[in-house]
Amino acid sequence: MPNSYDPDQIIRSEILALNAYHVPPATGMIKLDAMENPYTLPAALRQEIARLTAEAPVNRYPDADATLLKTALRKTLHIPDEMAIMLGNGSDEIIQIIAMAAAKPGAVLMSVEPAFAMFRMIAAFANISYVGIPLKSGFSLDQDTMLTAIAKHQPAVIFLAYPNNPTGNLFDAEVILRIIEATPGIVIIDEAYHAFADASLIDKLTQYPNLLLMRTLSKLGLAGLRLGLLIGRQEWLVQLEKLRLPYNVGIITQLVGKEVLRHADILLAQANAIKLERTKMHDELAALDGIEVFHSDANFILFRVADATRIFQELKQHGILIKNLNGTHPLLINCLRVTVGTPDENSQFILALHTILDKPV
Ligand SMILES: *Cc1c(COP(=O)(O)O)cnc(C)c1O
């Protein structure tokens, strides 16, 4: 046996080349970096969660089919009867399952750039080639370039977030439908921010045999629970289910998820409050000199400043954590992304920004 082992000799080169997904420490900070819902659940519901958790048979494996939770999701999210659903430990896990399933030698997974970073990262995990097509300067889909790239690469899978992260906009639905029609593979519409947008492609599922739709409870207020779902035809989900680890959704997630969905009105009211705050924050940002604000249909706002890295650092010194996107993509030069928080958190953010911008460099 050799007395030292070298990971470089064992681990795949694509993995060695990756940077781990970095989650910055946020203890004691106003946390506006991760699109979390800033509101907690009402006391009565938390009590009920405490009871359900206390009584949960944690010595047993959970229901591998999560039947009761799925029924609750169907009802609350108005999932068409003829569509099947598959649950994931967050929608991240669903992206991974799809990528693994499609990773034939030479297969391509396609998305746009800038987009949710996990599409590209998970392609590397699953050993499937990734092709990212740049968005146009206003973050809209570049239809001609997309259709040309689809003809050339024949992608097995395309992921499009609707609304898109980190840009916050909804793509033109007509262009998405043309992409679906032109693609030899499947198109997954990732509606993680559905609660904050007034649009969905869920009613197109029955029309397009290669369309699948992803949702998550994370941005709606249950990020810590880890529950995402894929909605689509049985013929696709039967195959993908084979790759899902049987107990990927734990019993606490099943019980608590089902209970909170009975009170979905609370989450939706919180989402509405966030939408109102989004409008307010947009206007306040737009009123500041030297800031370009982009329209958002999600629970965050993308904006451009003269020196993103300096402002990001100074906000951090004020105890406010947002996301610095400078350097992640040419379209995001000097761009910052702020999650919409509570009215108080948002005021503190705007106030800190005022102070920083008024200060000479
Ligand atoms: C946040 C986010 C997700 C991740 O959701 P989880 O369910 O928490 O894994 C998926 N897609 C997009 C576009 C996101 O922004």
Q: What is the pLDDT of residue 242?
A: 98
Beta-carbon count within 10 A of 302 CB: 25
Closest CA to 124 of 279, 2, 25, 19: 19
Atom of ligand 1 nearest to the CA of 227: 7
CA dist 344 and 356 (Å) reads 18
Task: Flag whether pLDDT at 2 surpasses 80.
Answer: no
Cβ 164 under 6 angstroms from ligand 1: no
Q: What is the pLDDT of residue 21?
A: 77
Contact assessment for residue 268 and residue 76, using Cβ atoms and an 8 Å cutoff: no
Beta-carbon count within 10 A of 40 CB: 10
Instruction: For residue range 222-260, list pLDDT tens digits in order.
Output: 999 999 999 999 999 999 999 999 999 999 999 999 999
CA dist 258 and 299 (Å) reads 24
Phi, psi of 330 (to 5 degrees): -55, -35
Atom of ligand 1 nearest to the CA of 164: 13
Q: Which of 218, 229, 300, 302 most suits a substitution to test ligand 1, by most atoms within 8 Å of the C-beta?
A: 218
CA dist 174 and 162 (Å) reads 13
CA dist 57 and 163 (Å) reads 38
Scored b (16 or more CB within 10 A) or e, 303-334 reads: bbbeebeebbebbeebebbbbbbbeebebbeb
CA dist 123 and 129 (Å) reads 7
Percent share of the chain, pLDDT over 90: 94
- State pTM to two decimals: 0.96
Instruction: For residue range 167-195, list pLDDT tens digits in order.
Output: 999 999 999 999 999 999 999 999 999 99
Cβ 253 under 6 angstroms from ligand 1: no
CA dist 94 and 100 (Å) reads 10
Distance 6 CA to ligand 1 centre (A): 34
219 three-class SS: helix
Q: Encoding tokens for residue 26?
A: 């946020």
Atom of ligand 1 nearest to the CA of 115: 13
Cβ 196 under 6 angstroms from ligand 1: no
Residue written as tokens 């249950």?
222
Instruction: For residue range 68-104, list pLDDT tens digits in order.
Output: 999 999 999 999 999 999 999 999 999 999 999 999 9
Q: Which of 219, 227, 229, 253 most suits a substitution to test ligand 1, by most atoms within 8 Å of the C-beta?
A: 219
pLDDT band, residue 360 (cuts 50/70/90): low
Q: Burial level of 99, CB count in 10 A (0-12/13-18/19+)?
A: buried
Cβ 218 under 6 angstroms from ligand 1: yes
Distance 42 CA to ligand 1 centre (A): 24
**Amino acid identity at 108:** V
Atom of ligand 1 nearest to the CA of 298: 15
**Amino acid identity at 173:** A
